[in-house]
Amino acid sequence: MLYEKLRQELIDTARKMEKYDLIRMSGGNVTLRTDDDRVLITPTAMSYDTMVPEDIVVTDLEGNIVEGKRKPSSDLKAALYILNHMPEVKAVIHTHQLKATALSLVCDRLPVISTTMVDEVKAEVNVAPFTISSDEGMGVQTVKYAGKALCVILKNHGVMAYGKSLDQALCAAIYLEESADVYLQALATQREITELTPEQIEAEDAPRGYYGQ
């Protein structure tokens, strides 16, 4: 079987998406581009807690199946569009996280409102206009609305998060959710919202080597 270790990493990532309440049941999906330009993707409509490496589908960058007995996620075309148009991106995850989705109903962007957002999401996050699910349009809108952030919120739907690794994409989605929660709570007070200034963002983002082992 090709890419056995990477297949397990996709499953581990999907289980963490569930653990952090970014998805429920078989919702969402995980996609990874390999160093030799193959694409690994979780299968459609299967529970992550019983998923095994054999269930992961391998395709090429056009979506032709290279290996796998399952049907790939219905968002394969959207994930491929992102991978084919954002060469620095290796991993894409799609979630239906509640707070970011709620925010999409009432806002067209999540401004940078916390230090964690600077560190893990990188920039303000745009809400892309509504597109139907299981359609390449989700990928088209993600590329169009990405800006400098590692996430785009899909209006009335969920989130696309991406990065150079599965961990980076997952962290971006988790901290987007945390920031969306903070923002919605602040909005509910109907008082003025304090966003970080460009100078504050730059200072927070500067390499300081203070964090991590």
Q: Would you say 72 or 158 has its CB closer to Zn ion? A: 158
- Give the DSSP letter of residue 129: P
Q: Would you say 84 or 133 has its CB closer to Zn ion? A: 133
Q: How far is the CB of 36 from Zn ion (least distance, A)?
A: 28
CB 81 within 8 A of CB 152: no
Q: How far is the CB of 113 from Zn ion (least distance, A)?
A: 25
Q: How far is the CB of 158 from Zn ion (least distance, A)?
A: 5
| Neighbour order of strands in the sheet with 39-41 | 65-67, 57-59, 39-41, 29-33, 91-95, 158-163, 151-154, 125-128, 109-110
Site residue total, Zn ion (CB under 5 A): 2
Q: How far is the CB of 134 from Zn ion (least distance, A)?
A: 8
> Strands 151-154 and 125-128, how do they pair?
parallel
CB 18 within 8 A of CB 95: no
CA distance 54 to 58: 10
Query: Scanning residues 116 to 145, which ones bind Zn ion (CB under 5 A)?
Result: 133
Specify the stretch interacting with Zn ion by CB under 5 A; choose among 16-24, 44-52, 143-151, 153-161: 153-161
Specify the stretch interacting with Zn ion by CB under 5 A; choose among 8-16, 45-53, 76-84, 157-165: 157-165
Q: How far is the CB of 115 from Zn ion (least distance, A)?
A: 29
Q: Would you say 46 or 182 has its CB closer to Zn ion? A: 46
Is 109 in a helix, a strand, or coil?
A: strand
Site residues, Zn ion (CB under 5 A): 133, 158
